[in-house]
């Protein structure tokens, strides 16, 4: 099997309890030596500060390489540039640049801040003007809901790459064929950066289904059938979730994929098990 590289996505915690589960997850997953760990970003001052604090703590207390997410939402270019500079000063070398969602939620139409970055490609260019940081961006195998066509979506990806992005991580998906069909179109458009599949282990099927509906990811009938009747049966749900994710990633590996981005939801157990299946072992044990 070719060398597998993984990255883990976390979100900044809102409460002390969430803080505890985040750092437990980081501690459990860190020995798997991920390529990087990323921390999501919310609009508004306090969530922004939480992202920064989480990234700072990763830098201070672990050997992990953090990637800080950043969006264009509800801020002027000047304000966003200050965040980029603060990340750079803190020692961050990798930013995940995104447009972000409307502050009023996904039902609202997105409108750029009048003095802000117009879109994710514009933000990538802004980051590159300030510092030569590594920049990753998003990609949507099933099309972003705002985008009229898959081709328009891929045009946006091309604009982000032309502005300096060197990696894309995809929205989660459950049908691997859909990822490969998308990848063919991306390559045909002359985009040659890695497009790393985003894998969401289904911790909670009900939540996943409602989140998927909002972000334009489809939930196949076979997946719903597998979780049918398990709403109150956490233990079985977890076993099914592990089986579903294992099937998905092992098929991707069979078809040549070597890099994976995991949406951890700040929980380690399923992700750790899937990484084990992928052949990853804790660094200390590997050396022994
Ligand atoms: C890997 C990953 C990480 C993410 N991390 C975060 C995070 O940390 N914080 C967060 O808030 N969100 C995050 N998101 C969600 C993301 O912000 C939303 O999906 C958002 O709606 C789009 O931002 P983007 O940069 O992905 O979009 P883009 O790549 O800029 O655009 C996606 C598509 O929408 C089209 N589009 C964009 N704007 C318009 C418009 N005004 N009118 C018509 N079409 C338009 C583009 O042409 C493109 O086709 C993440 C998503 C992914 C896949």
pLDDT tens sequence across 206-265: 999 999 998 889 999 999 999 999 999 999 999 999 999 999 999 999 999 999 999 999
Whether 138 is in the pocket of ligand 1, judged by its Cβ within 6 Å, is: yes
Distance 282 CA to ligand 1 centre (A): 34
Judge whether 39 and 87 are in contact, CB under 8 Å: no
Q: Is 9 an active-site residue?
A: yes
Helices then strands (H, E): number in the chain? Answer: 11, 8
Distance 240 CA to ligand 1 centre (A): 30
Which pLDDT score is estimated for 286?
A: 56
Whether 71 is in the pocket of ligand 1, judged by its Cβ within 6 Å, is: yes
More confident residue, 112 or 250: 250
Which pLDDT score is estimated for 288?
A: 45
Distance 216 CA to ligand 1 centre (A): 11
More confident residue, 57 or 283: 57
- pLDDT tens digit string along 122-154? 999 999 999 999 999 999 999 999 999 999 999
Distance 5 CA to ligand 1 centre (A): 24
Q: Rg (Cα) of the chain, in Å, rounded? A: 18
Residues composing the chain: 288
Question: Residue 205 — very low, low, confident or very high, per pLDDT cuts 50/70/90?
Answer: very high
Residue 168 three-state SS:
strand
**What is the residue-wise DSSP string for 60-116?**
HH-S--EEEEEE-TT--HHHHHHHHHHHHHHT--EEEEE----TT-TTSPP---TTS
Which pLDDT score is estimated for 2?
A: 75
Q: What are phi and psi of 221, to 5 degrees?
A: -60, -35
Check pLDDT > 90 for residue 48. no
- pLDDT tens digit string along 23-42? 999 999 999 999 999 999 98
Structure token digits, residue 205: 């099927």
Check pLDDT > 60 for residue 72. yes
CB-count burial class (<10 Å; 0-12, 13-18, 19+) for 56: middle
Whether 211 is in the pocket of ligand 1, judged by its Cβ within 6 Å, is: no
Instruction: Supply the mean pLDDT for the chain.
Output: 94
| Spatial CA neighbour of 127 closest among 198, 68, 168 | 68
Mutate which of 146, 149, 173 for ligand 1 pocket (most atoms within 8 A of beta carbon) = 146
Which pLDDT score is estimated for 234?
A: 93
Among 40-49, 160-169, 189-198, which stretch is predicted with the lowest mean pLDDT?
Answer: 40-49
- pLDDT tens digit string along 267-279? 999 999 999 999 9
Share of the chain above pLDDT 90, in %: 89
Average pLDDT over residues 94-100: 97
Check pLDDT > 70 for residue 155. yes
Question: Residue 1 — very low, low, confident or very high, per pLDDT cuts 50/70/90?
Answer: low
Whether 69 is in the pocket of ligand 1, judged by its Cβ within 6 Å, is: yes
The whole model's pTM is what? 0.96
Whether 101 is in the pocket of ligand 1, judged by its Cβ within 6 Å, is: yes
Q: How far apart are CA 39 and CA 8, in angstroms?
A: 9
Which pLDDT score is estimated for 45?
A: 65
Distance 147 CA to ligand 1 centre (A): 10
- 10 forms beta bridges with 39
Whether 147 is in the pocket of ligand 1, judged by its Cβ within 6 Å, is: yes
Question: Residue 105 — very low, low, confident or very high, per pLDDT cuts 50/70/90?
Answer: confident
Q: What are phi and psi of 95, to 5 degrees?
A: -120, 140
């Amino acid at each position: 099997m070719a060398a597998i590289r993984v990255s883990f996505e976390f979100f900044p915690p809102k409460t002390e309890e969430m803080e505890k589960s985040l750092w437990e997850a980081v501690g459990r997953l860190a020995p798997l030596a991920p390529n990087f760990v990323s921390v999501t970003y919310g609009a508004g001052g306090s969530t922004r500060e939480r992202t920064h604090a989480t990234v700072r703590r990763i830098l201070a207390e672990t050997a992990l390489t953090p990637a800080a997410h950043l969006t264009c939402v509800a801020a002027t270019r000047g304000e966003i540039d200050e965040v980029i500079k603060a990340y750079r000063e803190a020692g961050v070398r990798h930013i995940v640049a995104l447009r972000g969602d409307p502050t009023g939620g996904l039902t609202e139409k997105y409108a750029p801040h009048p003095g802000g970055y117009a879109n994710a490609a514009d933000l990538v260019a802004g980051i590159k003007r300030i510092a030569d940081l590594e920049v990753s961006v998003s990609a949507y195998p099933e099309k972003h809901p705002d985008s009229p066509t898959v081709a328009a979506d891929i045009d946006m990806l091309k604009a982000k790459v032309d502005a300096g992005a060197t990696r894309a991580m995809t929205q989660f998906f459950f049908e691997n064929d859909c990822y490969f069909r998308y990848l063919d179109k991306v390559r045909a458009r002359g985009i040659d950066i890695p497009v790393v599949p985003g894998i969401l282990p289904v911790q909670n099927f009900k939540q996943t289904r409602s989140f998927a509906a909002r972000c334009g990811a489809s939930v196949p009938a076979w997946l719903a059938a597998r979780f049918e009747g398990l709403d109150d049966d956490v233990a079985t749900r977890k076993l099914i979730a592990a089986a579903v994710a294992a099937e998905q990633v092992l098929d991707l590996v069979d078809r040549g994929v070597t890099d994976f981005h995991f949406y951890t939801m700040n929980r380690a157990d399923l992700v750790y098990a899937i990484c084990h299946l992928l052949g990853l072992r804790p660094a200390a044990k590997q050396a022994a």
